[in-house]
Amino acid sequence: MGEQIGSISGSSITLKPGDNYLNLTGSLKPINANATELLSELFTYFVGGQSSPLTVINTNVIGPNGPVTWLQKGLIGVTLTVSLDSTAQKLVSNISIPTMSVVFDPTDTTGSKFKTTATVNANFKSPFDFSLSILEASQTLSFLDSSNTTFATLDVPLSAATSNQAAGTLKTSFTNATFQMVTGQDASYQDFFKSLTLDSSYKVAIKGSVNTVANTVVGNVTIDNVTLTDSITFSGFQGLSDVTVNSVTVQSGSSSGIQLAIGTTIQNPSTISIDFASDVALDLLYNGETVGSVTLPKLALVPGSNSVTATSVFSPSGSSAVAQGRTLLSNFLAGTTNDVSIVGTGSSVPYTELQPTFDGLTIATSLPGQSTQIVASTALSVSIASLTASSATGTAYLYINNPFQTALGIDNINAQIRYNGSLLGTIDQDFTSSPLTVPAGSSNYEVGPVTATLDLGLEALQLVISALRSTSGTGSVQLNSTLVTSVGGYTTTVDYAQNTAVSFN
């Protein structure tokens, strides 16, 4: 015998030969826990559009003027089998995820799954007129590609939820659910991540089911297997295009390159937090040539502003890259800001399924110049006694700043001395036989004397006359220097231009 789950009644009923249609009203009121469980089953069937077989047993009959004994004997206990029919109800729609985190597992180098924690908002429409409030919800979701094929699944355990029947809203959240790629659906899974990373938003179709625990006037009931067909729009990372380089510090050098620490601010425009739980390795490009690498250690980004200290190795290879690297380094040491690109490769991350995403990543940013000039000043003096009909010999001193965190070696200085744009003389000093090292953190470190050879043409005579006429006894020339330097074990060439005073005595 079934359990009683409620009662119904009707009034002013007249039975006629043939079919009779009765309008009955009543209430659901399960009498015990088993009846409550059956009521949950009834709700599940009703919401899912399935028919529910019910048994209705007559318990009383009252005539127009009161009880009628013979009628009661004939009708009390009469049992009817009826079917409660329904069409499928859409309880949940318009799903959105205002916050979400993605955390990869570094021990799973496929990257085919990740843990996610999120808050979920949705529209909620109850098919019942009585009060019904969702207390908990679990979800089994399939994510569909453009061909309507499931490429990933998300199983969300039973989690706390709140609903507002009048407002038609449902809110829930979950922690550490597993988003899992379906075997063989690599291409669609990779497209999902590529679009999520490079685009401003990504809309994906979903299907699945929702199980709920709901509070009603008769207690808590479960409504299971609520069919869900919808779409979710994720806010994308927009290629992480907003990256600001705040500082560049030269830390050390080796035969493989110059090691830099780069202070950056990375703006994450998405509402998604992402933790790669691994380093992200990128190439550093200048004017289209790879001049080094940039590593974002254990990269994890939250929505909004993220301060990330990257490590970089300046190590151009090949004649074209070395030439561009020389220009970049020279500009950097002169305090000039340069436009650079940070570019992903197929090996940027250890996760196989994410590698195609990074292979298409290009971030444009600017590399600020070194605020402290390497050559603080230059002093050039020429002895009047050295003047000949065609030449003169001078002495130069260079005062070097070393703002680096490592020693700076100067192997060779080759400079042109120019006056009014014309070549006036040269400096060519080699220090390889007697290495010159400027200690880390030095200011105005004196290098010299070095010999300067001047060609006494018309321009030189004009300079001499100008200097002798001046109250200071000096003139001004431009020094275009090429320095062969070493940072740690890495040797490179930089160009430097500076106006300097020349005195004649």
Backbone angles phi, psi at 23, to 5 degrees: -95, 110
Strands 132-144 and 113-124: unpaired
Contact between residue 6 and residue 29 where contact means Cβ atoms under 8 Å apart: yes
- What pLDDT score was predicted for residue 326? 93
Higher pLDDT, 33 or 366: 366
Higher pLDDT, 168 or 459: 168
Higher pLDDT, 335 or 323: 323
In terms of residues, how long is the chain? Answer: 505
Taking the C-alpha atoms of residue 274 and residue 240, their distance in angstroms, rounded to an integer, is 12
For 243-269, b/e burial (b = at least 16 CB within 10 A) is: bebeebebbbbeeebbbbebebebbbb
pLDDT digits (tens, 9 = 90+) for 4-53: 787 888 888 888 899 888 888 877 777 778 877 777 777 777 777 777 78
Region 316-327 average pLDDT = 94
Taking the C-alpha atoms of residue 72 and residue 282, their distance in angstroms, rounded to an integer, is 88
pLDDT of 283 strictly over 80: yes
> What is the band of 379 on the pLDDT scale with cuts at 50, 70, 90?
confident
- Global pTM? 0.82
pLDDT digits (tens, 9 = 90+) for 92-137: 888 899 999 999 999 999 999 999 999 999 998 888 777 888 899 9
